Structure 1
Amino acid sequence: MDIAGSVALVTGSNRGIGRRFALELLERGATKVYATARRPELVDLEGVVTLPLDITDQASVDAAAAAAGDVTLLVNNAGVSSQGSLLTDDLASARRAVDTHLWGTLAMIRAFAPVIERNGGGAVVNVLSALSWFAAPGAGGYAAAKAAEWNMTNAVRPELLARGISVQGLHLGAADTDMMAGYDGPMLDPADVARAALDGVERGVSEVLADDWSRLVKDSLAHEPEWLAARLG
């Protein structure tokens, strides 16, 4: 689909990758960009339409779909971090990750698929992670949530394609955002992530791997788990 002339809604637009998505959409000529957040007053972008949205609250999702009835492009970016051991720590954080990344993202797709279809078709972008395909120490809950979101993305793709809606899974390693504060390693510019994803939307690409790290991790799926561990040293 063409970004120019589209009407987009981006979840988690108040910072990080979501904010860069909203900016890139405006720069590419989107007719309207709905910038959503649980606290929309924190969205500091000119030229967008702000909406309150908590993707884990069905009433909030339904209200957003009713308010943004002209959407043709949905960018599911909202997320939460989750730290701790799945074996020994409290599971509240892991459950919140699954509720957000899997069930919250699916709630958005279910609510907006009829909207996009009524408007002649379009696209959905799900912001995933290299952690869809491996688990880092202390991030088991987040990894499990992203793995579930990845396969959910694959599951809805053929159904939505038949309704004129393409579905992209966007994978990346670390990006220079608030969520990654304190991370000691190479990080992507969020603007580059948004550009890669929207380039993929315009080409109709089902999966975008935004960096070498996500490409390496996906390659590891053809090997035993020890293959990746050996390359990480």
Structure 2
Amino acid sequence: MKPMLDGKVIVVTGAARGIGRAAAYAMAQAGASLALADFDEDGANTTAAQVARLGARCVVVRADVSREEEVAGLVNAAVARFGRLDGAFNNAGIEQRNTPLHLLSEAQWNAVNDVNLKGVFFCLKHEIRAMLETGGGAIVNTSSALGRVAIPNAAEYCASKGGVLGLSKAAAVEYGSQGIRVNAILPGVIRTPMIDSLVSQPQFAGLLPALEARHPIGRLGEPDEIAQAAVWLLSDLASFVNGSEFSVDGGYLAV
């Protein structure tokens, strides 16, 4: 049986660490060739070195997804290296500022939404352009359970991730008939370096047990659990899945 992504060319943004790094590894294991992108080029190169040990072909592109010209350059680099683009995991994102809405500045709002929402728009725009030239593909966008429900002091983050859901559905409706599937993954709280750093701060003492208890499964998620869902959504096994909100949240949204 062939690997699920055998021969496919996939872009992964936010590939320097966390979910993006796990996705790159899982997609390489599934047979994909990869264009790995991150603002942190050193981190992306570390990911690429791990992927190379699996025998996967890859190219690293330093890209700030909030800048359209850099996203266009990423997609162009993938096509130049591999001849086409079959899929994308638009995963790059940053966390909320932990500020009450009435104190949130425009700069804080823009910092989060420029990456989390506008960055996904730029990725979709240029990935779809490339896929239309070669007959289609599949795209997975990282939203969040917080695109559906909210927590305090995260208005800009919740808005950005809710926007990703709407944007994903709009693209799915517009391009499904042209052979391009677009879906969104909604992770719960995932044990990434960002979360580890947060829960280690003295002011957030006791946060980790509270986060674990919020998930009916009784623990946080692991990056590879999101990565494996992305692999399936990008594969031909998910050929009738389009415009979905794919929750991988340990039951967070079921409570």
Output the TM-score relative to the length of structure 2.
0.80
Partner of 1:104: 119
Quick one: structure 1 residues 214 and 197, their matched pair in 2 at CA, closer, same or farther if it must change by over 3 Å?
Answer: farther
Measured after TM superposition, the shift of residue 89 of structure 1 is 3.2
Report the identity percentage. Answer: 27
Structure 2 Cα separation of the partners of residues 35 and 138 of structure 1: 32
1:60 aligns with 2:74: no
SS at match of 2:11: strand
What aligned pairs does 1:1-233 form with structure 2 within 5 A after superposition? Answer: 2-30=4-32, 32-43=33-44, 44-45=46-47, 46=49, 47=52, 48-69=58-79, 70-83=84-97, 84-181=99-196, 182=199, 183-184=207-208, 185-186=211-212, 187-202=220-235, 203-204=238-239, 205=241, 206-216=244-254
Unaligned runs of 5+ in 1: 217-230
**Is the Cα contact below 8 Å between 2:149 and 2:253 reproduced in 1?**
no
Measured after TM superposition, the shift of residue 214 of structure 1 is 4.2
SS at match of 1:54: coil
Structure 2 Cα separation of the partners of residues 201 and 36 of structure 1: 18
**Is the Cα contact below 8 Å between 1:16 and 1:178 reproduced in 2?**
yes
Q: Which moved more, 1:199-208 or 1:182-191?
A: 199-208
**Is the Cα contact below 8 Å between 1:172 and 1:211 reproduced in 2?**
yes
Measured after TM superposition, the shift of residue 197 of structure 1 is 2.3
Measured after TM superposition, the shift of residue 116 of structure 1 is 1.5
**Is the Cα contact below 8 Å between 1:168 and 1:201 reproduced in 2?**
no
**Is the Cα contact below 8 Å between 1:22 and 1:35 reproduced in 2?**
yes
Structure 1 Cα separation of the partners of residues 146 and 251 of structure 2: 10
Per-residue CA shift, 1:79-122, capped at 9, x if unaligned?
A: 01112111123232222211112111011110110212222211
SS at match of 2:102: coil
Q: Which amino acid in 2 is paired with 1:82?
A: Q
Structure 1 Cα separation of the partners of residues 62 and 184 of structure 2: 24
Per-residue CA shift, 1:60-89, capped at 9, x if unaligned?
A: 112112211122111100001112111123
**Is the Cα contact below 8 Å between 1:173 and 1:211 reproduced in 2?**
yes
Q: Which moved more, 1:64-73 or 1:201-210?
A: 201-210
Unaligned runs of 5+ in 2: 53-57, 200-206, 213-219
CA RMSD of aligned residues (A): 1.7
Structure 1 Cα separation of the partners of residues 252 and 78 of structure 2: 33
Structure 2 Cα separation of the partners of residues 77 and 16 of structure 1: 10
Output the TM-score relative to the length of structure 1.
0.87
